[in-house]
Amino acid sequence: MSARKRWEEKTKEVTKKHPERKSEFKTDSELPVDRLYAPDDRSEPEISEKIGFPGESPFTRGVYPSMYRGRLWTMRQYAGFGSAEETNQRYKYLVEAGQTGLSVAFDLPTQMGYDSDHAMALGEVGKAGVAISSLKDMEILFEGIPLGKVSTSMTINAPASILLAMYVAVAENQGVAHHQIVGTTQNDILKEYIARKTFIFPPEFSMRLATDVIMYCAERLPRWNPISISGYHMREAGATAAQEIAFALANGLEYVNAVLARGMDIDKFSSQLSFFFSCDNNFLEEIAKFRAARRLWASLVKERFGAKKKESLMLRFHTQTGGSTLTAQQPLNNIIRTTLQALAAVLGGTQSLHTNSYDEALALPTAEAVRIALRTQQIIAEESGAADTIDPLGGSYYLEDLTEKLEAEARKFIAKVDDLGGMRKAIEMGYVQREIEQTAYHKQREIEQKKRIVVGVNAFVGEEKHTPEILKMVPEIVEKQVRRLQDVRGSRDAKAVQQALEQLKKVARTSDNLMPAILEAVKAYVTVGEICDIFRAEFGQYHEPATL
């Protein structure tokens, strides 16, 4: 039996369990659309072996046998601003508009482990995301939202363990069993030292926290992705497509090694690892990037760690359209940029997608801008036909060549990281940061010299005709948030708080997993800042060394 025939037999079984979205797929001209297009006779074995079939290693054509024929990608809109009440209303608005997954943006104090009334939080509460200081805030954030029926992604890193514990506590209060909790914590601390910079603790303790979450989820939360290993922020900082793949996957290898060193088998946790990529402007290169990343990860995990389960080799990823490609000038042009990027992500086989709003180069997005961004995904899904067949561009000579070249280029960067002793060593030596900085500088020089055209910025510059509405925070929101935090501190059980903090300190001084102690602490309404202060006292804070 040929490879294609074998795949067709397998997909019949999958289709029985998970029926396709439609009884038949047709073009507007009533022409039938097959599930997959591939050579029948496998006449190009070398290429075909690398391309393979969807749902089969090396997953070049997608991680699932049916891809979007069976189920569309999860449509998310990254959202969070002000206090929990305001963000809760935005979530309900988005769900009503057809969003299929929630995505939480936290404000800067929360990301840095400070409560809303801390001196370091002054002027930043609720600005870049929602303010979450205690379990009370998290309860309000998800009030009226059934956590057993929705997938939630949380963009949180240094204090990811704390926010996950709060989410689990809210789910438990709703009567949701652990195996029903679905979602993702970003929890990728290594890329913070490289590009995003919302680190709190030194790398060694930060890695312990990240791996604690991975191991806890492997044991207790089987449907939760404990980490979303991010190439996105490195791309936003200036990395090329090849660097984005290489450095994200190299970070992934570092996390795998850290968990293995603590005695957990690769096949126990690898299937719960997820990735997060940007989708930039070069349409076909971005599609090829996603295909190359899947293939390379499958190869690395198999070769280096001897993973046996097919699921352990799968690179599943969320995509966000490129924030750094948005322009404050002629902001409506951003709708076109986002549409092309979203389409590339879909054609590249993403599992989850956030589309940026056209006004995000100016401020947090308005409700109207968010709705247009969501409608962009819905139109691609329902009207374009792009989701009607699996990997529709697979087999294109140009696309396959780009996929090969990106994989080869990424391998070179990973080999360099290996030579330096792994990703943590490479970061400590500044290698990764320098590579990205040089690329960013080169790109900016090209824009300034008009060798790289940005429409509305360095070419086709005309008089602005459209002034978008700007979302603004009112001072009353901050006052309400601080008042609630003070009320929580005044009404909670002081003895339970003290016991929880003592237990947390005790576990921190051992090598035990911190998640159970953190969960008990947040249930006692211990705040984000109080937990982080325990860790700061025990392990210190990280200060980035000055470099020239």
Whole-angstrom distance, CA of residue 335 vs CA of residue 365: 13
Q: What is the mean pLDDT of the chain?
A: 94
Please report the pLDDT score of residue 47 as a whole number.
55
- Asked if residue 42 has pLDDT above 60, the reply is no
Ranges of beta strands (E only) in 25-169 are 74-79, 101-105, 151-155
Q: Count CB-CB contacts under 10 A for residue 495.
A: 9
* Whole-number percent of the chain with pLDDT over 70: 97
Q: Count CB-CB contacts under 10 A for residue 208.
A: 21
Q: Sorting pLDDT into bands at 50, 70 and 90, what band is 548?
A: low
Please report the pLDDT score of residue 243 as a whole number.
98
Query: Quick check: bond before 58 cis, omega within 30?
Result: yes
Say if CB 206 and CB 160 are below 8 A apart. Answer: no
Burial class (CB in 10 A: 0-12, 13-18, 19+), 302: middle
Question: Any idea which of 17-26, 80-89, 444-453 has the lowest mean pLDDT?
Answer: 17-26
Q: Sorting pLDDT into bands at 50, 70 and 90, what band is 11?
A: confident
Tell me the mean pLDDT in the region 119-134: 95
Please report the pLDDT score of residue 3 as a whole number.
75
Say if CB 318 and CB 276 are below 8 A apart. Answer: yes
Query: How far separated are the first and last CA of the chain, in Å rounded?
Result: 61
Q: Count CB-CB contacts under 10 A for residue 343.
A: 21
Please report the pLDDT score of residue 234 as a whole number.
98
For the record, the structure tokens of 310 come out as: 């097919």
Whole-angstrom distance, CA of residue 500 vs CA of residue 361: 42
Collapsing DSSP to helix, strand or coil, 455 comes out as: strand
- Asked if residue 40 has pLDDT above 70, the reply is no
Please report the pLDDT score of residue 44 as a whole number.
56
Whole-angstrom distance, CA of residue 254 vs CA of residue 207: 10
Please report the pLDDT score of residue 469 as a whole number.
79
Query: What are the residues whose beta carbons fall under 8 Å from the beta carbon of 239, sequence distance 6 or more?
Result: 231, 247, 435, 436, 439, 440
Please report the pLDDT score of residue 187 as a whole number.
98
For the segment 202-239, what is each residue's pLDDT rounded down to a tens digit?
999 999 999 999 999 999 999 999 999 999 999 999 99
Whole-angstrom distance, CA of residue 111 vs CA of residue 106: 6
Q: Sorting pLDDT into bands at 50, 70 and 90, what band is 502?
A: very high
- Asked if residue 46 has pLDDT above 60, the reply is no
Whole-angstrom distance, CA of residue 364 vs CA of residue 470: 8
Say if CB 114 and CB 120 are below 8 A apart. Answer: yes
Q: Sorting pLDDT into bands at 50, 70 and 90, what band is 39?
A: confident
Ranges of beta strands (E only) in 40-150 are 74-79, 101-105
Query: What are the residues whose beta carbons fall under 8 Å from the beta carbon of 455, sequence distance 6 or more?
Result: 330, 333
Q: What domains are defined for the chain?
A: 69-448 (3.20.20.240)
